[in-house]
């Protein structure tokens, strides 16, 4: 909390903690927020959320960009000022102009609360202007993907304990045990400096700082809200709909008379070939985790390929050959570098990298 730049807001949020502890305690003990599980070390503790914020300038971004003398015009030409890869020609042209800043919020939370719980708490009791997408709250709608401590994840399936510096953890290490040697905010302060030790005589855990940023590789629209149009258009571009193979082989013969009343037959083992792929929730986490995609290179993206694979492997679909052809392009499977950064973070447990590799293999075999 020592950085000059964040002085004002830091003070503001701290003031709230001091002045209204009752309100905060009450709020975190009610509602959708969980209370501590005695089986786990999840006592209420202090957490600081360091959140990347962005407010677009009013009016069209284009006109802002063209205005001479705008302090932001210079930023555009400076590749180091870009928060994205310097190769990201695409994103820098799409960039929306506005004000970026980071803001810290201190609140008292339990370790098994989700980060979404924390943000809702901030909206309610500290700062109602914070903007983030969220809907179902339990990991099925896919709306709330962000970057938490540098990793793409869903707000509602990420708990404080998972991401916080553990109260008993070694000082100077982060949740995964690595010690940071430099940070993006390396302007005199380090996150370690902000870890509060337990206060004298009491064992309130300190969850340290969790950093939340928008999903990498996507254009930021406001605070944690990003533009997902590119991803969705890419998914759409690969004909993401079942085109029946026809009814001769697949359809139950028992009621031949009325076509509408007959389902395709599909054995459980045929279903198993693609079932997991249907669980994709279009959250964009695989895309953000993919250095090729989030680096801004021409790549249709892992999410679109997973959707394509879902239909290629569906025994009911009659277009698998065409579908395979349509992804054998330079911005299709050929753009994948088999880095497999996309696999582990998938909230639906899809081994994205493996699936894309299978597509590559299958495409080669058919050639």
Partner 1 sequence: MSEITVNDKYDAVIVGAGAAGLSAALAISHSTQFERLREQGKEPRILVLCKLQALRSHTGSAEGGIAASLGNVEHDDWHWHYYDTVKGGDWLVDQDAARILAEEAPRTVISLEHDGVAFSRTQDGHIAQRKFGGHTADFGRKPVRRAAYAADRIGHQILYALWQQCVHAGIEFAEEWYVTDLVVETGPASLGTKIKNGIANAAEDIANHAVDVTDEPGVQGIVALDTRSGTIHSIVTNNVLLATGGAGRLFHTTSNSWDLTGDGMALALKAGLQLEDIEFMQFHPTGLGHTGILLSEAARGEGGVLRNAEGEAFMERYAPEHRDLAARDVVSRSIMAEIDAGRGIPDPLDPTGPKDCVWLDMTGIDAGRMNTALPQVFETIRRYAGLDPTVQWIAVKPTAHYTMGGIPITTEGHVYRWTKGQRKEVKGLYAAGECSCVSVHGANRLGGNSLLDACLFGERAGLSIAQAVFSRKNTTESSDDERLCEANNLACERVAMKRLQDMKALLRSDTVCTPSHASSPSTTNSDAAQTDISRAEIRTGAVTASTDSTADNAGHTEREDNPYVLLQQLGTIMDEALAVRCDGDGIQSALDQIENDLAPRSEDLIAHDSGASFNQELTAIWELRNLITMAKAMLNASSSRHESRGAFHRNDFTGRDDDGFLAHSMIDQNGSISWQPVHIVDMPPKQRVY
Q: Which of residues 268-307 bind partner 1 (CB under 8 A)?
A: 268, 270-271, 274-275, 278-279, 281-282
209/336 with CB nearer partner 1: 209
Tell the smallest beta-carbon distance from residue 96 to partner 1 (Å). Answer: 9
Tell the smallest beta-carbon distance from residue 364 to partner 1 (Å). Answer: 27
- Burial per residue of 335-353, b for 16 or more beta-carbon CB atoms within 10 angstroms, e otherwise: bbeeebbbbebbbbebebb
DSSP labels, 35-73: ---TTTT---EEEEEEEEEEEEPSS-HHHHHH-TT-TTH
- Count the residues of the shown chain that bind partner 1, applying the rule CB under 8 A: 95
**DSSP state for residue 31 in the 8-state scheme:** T
Q: Is 177 in the site for partner 1 (CB under 8 A)?
A: no
SS3 of residue 270 by DSSP: helix
Q: Are 163 and 148 contacting, i.e. CB atoms less than 8 angstroms apart?
A: yes
Interface residue with partner 1 among 1, 43, 65, 221 (CB under 8 A) is 221
Q: Are 155 and 119 contacting, i.e. CB atoms less than 8 angstroms apart?
A: yes
28/289 with CB nearer partner 1: 28
Tell the smallest beta-carbon distance from residue 1 to partner 1 (Å). Answer: 12
Q: Is 36 in the site for partner 1 (CB under 8 A)?
A: yes
Q: At what angle do helices 320-327 and 352-366 cross, to 10 degrees?
A: 110
The span from the CA of 272 to the CA of 249, in Å, is: 19
54/336 with CB nearer partner 1: 54
Q: Is 217 in the site for partner 1 (CB under 8 A)?
A: no
Q: Is 196 in the site for partner 1 (CB under 8 A)?
A: no
83/196 with CB nearer partner 1: 83
7/366 with CB nearer partner 1: 7
Interactions with partner 1, residue window 314-343 (CB under 8 A): 314, 316
Q: Are 116 and 31 contacting, i.e. CB atoms less than 8 angstroms apart?
A: no
Tell the smallest beta-carbon distance from residue 99 to partner 1 (Å). Answer: 6
Q: Is 14 in the site for partner 1 (CB under 8 A)?
A: no
Q: Which range binds partner 1 by CB under 8 A, 192-200, 223-231, 297-305, 325-333?
A: 223-231
Angle at 180 between CA 85 and CA 352, to 5 degrees: 50
Tell the smallest beta-carbon distance from residue 195 to partner 1 (Å). Answer: 19
Q: Where are the alpha helices (DSSP H) in the chain?
A: 7-19, 21-28, 61-66, 73-77, 89-94, 115-125, 160-163, 229-237, 268-272, 285-289, 291-294, 302-312, 320-327, 352-366
Binding mask 124-143 for partner 1 (x = CB under 8 A): xx-xxx-xxxxxxxxxxxxx
For residue 54, the tally of other CB atoms under 10 A from its CB is 19
Interactions with partner 1, residue window 40-99 (CB under 8 A): 40, 52, 55-59, 71-72, 75, 78, 80-83, 99
101/366 with CB nearer partner 1: 101
Which is nearest to 57 in space by CA: 116, 100, 109, 104? 100
Q: Which range binds partner 1 by CB under 8 A, 4-12, 201-209, 287-295, 337-345?
A: 4-12
184/354 with CB nearer partner 1: 184
**Max Cα separation, the chain?**
81
Structure tokens at 26: 């009450």
Q: Which residues lie across from 147 on neighbouring strands?
A: 152, 213
Interactions with partner 1, residue window 231-250 (CB under 8 A): 232, 236, 239-242, 244
Tell the smallest beta-carbon distance from residue 80 to partner 1 (Å). Answer: 6
| Pairing mode, strands 145-148 and 206-213 | antiparallel
Q: Is 184 in the site for partner 1 (CB under 8 A)?
A: yes
132/299 with CB nearer partner 1: 132
164/360 with CB nearer partner 1: 164
Interface residue with partner 1 among 76, 222, 344, 358 (CB under 8 A) is 222
304/360 with CB nearer partner 1: 304
Q: Are 232 and 280 contacting, i.e. CB atoms less than 8 angstroms apart?
A: no
- Virtual torsion, Cα 107, 225, 288, 213, nearest 10 deg: -30
């Amino acid at each position: 909390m020592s950085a000059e730049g964040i002085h004002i807001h830091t003070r503001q949020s701290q003031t709230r903690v001091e002045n209204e502890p009752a309100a905060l305690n009450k709020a975190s003990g009610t509602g959708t927020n969980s209370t501590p599980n005695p089986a786990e070390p999840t006592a209420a503790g202090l957490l600081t959320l360091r959140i990347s914020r962005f407010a677009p300038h009013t009016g069209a971004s284009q006109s802002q960009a063209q205005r001479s003398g705008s302090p932001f015009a210079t930023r555009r030409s400076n590749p180091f000022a870009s928060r994205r890869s310097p190769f990201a020609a695409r994103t820098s042209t799409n960039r929306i102009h506005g004000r970026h800043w980071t803001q810290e919020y201190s609140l008292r939370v339990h370790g098994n609360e989700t980060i979404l719980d924390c943000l809702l708490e901030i909206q309610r009791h500290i700062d109602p202007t914070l903007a983030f997408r969220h809907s179902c709250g339990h990991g099925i709608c896919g709306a709330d993907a962000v970057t938490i401590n540098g990793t793409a994840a869903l707000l509602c399936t990420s708990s404080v304990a998972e991401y916080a510096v553990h109260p008993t953890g070694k000082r100077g290490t982060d949740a995964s045990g690595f010690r940071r040697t430099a940070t993006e905010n390396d302007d005199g302060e380090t996150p370690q400096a902000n870890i509060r030790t337990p206060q004298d005589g009491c064992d309130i855990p300190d969850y340290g700082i969790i950093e939340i940023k928008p999903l990498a590789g996507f254009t930021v629209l406001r605070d944690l809200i990003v533009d997902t149009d590119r991803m969705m258009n890419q998914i759409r571009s690969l004909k993401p709909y079942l085109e029946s193979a026809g009814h001769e082989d697949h359809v139950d013969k028992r009621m031949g008379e009325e076509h509408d009343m007959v389902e395709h037959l599909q054995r459980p083992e045929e279903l198993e070939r693609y079932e997991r792929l249907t669980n994709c929730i279009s959250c964009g986490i695989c895309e953000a985790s993919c250095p090729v995609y989030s680096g801004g290179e021409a790549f249709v993206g892992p999410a679109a390929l997973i959707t394509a694979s879902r239909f290629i492997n569906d025994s009911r679909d009659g277009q698998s050959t065409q579908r395979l052809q349509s992804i054998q392009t330079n911005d299709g499977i050929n753009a994948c570098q088999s880095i497999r950064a996309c696999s582990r973070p998938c909230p639906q447990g899809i081994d994205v990298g493996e699936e894309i590799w299978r597509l590559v293999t299958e495409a080669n075999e058919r050639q």
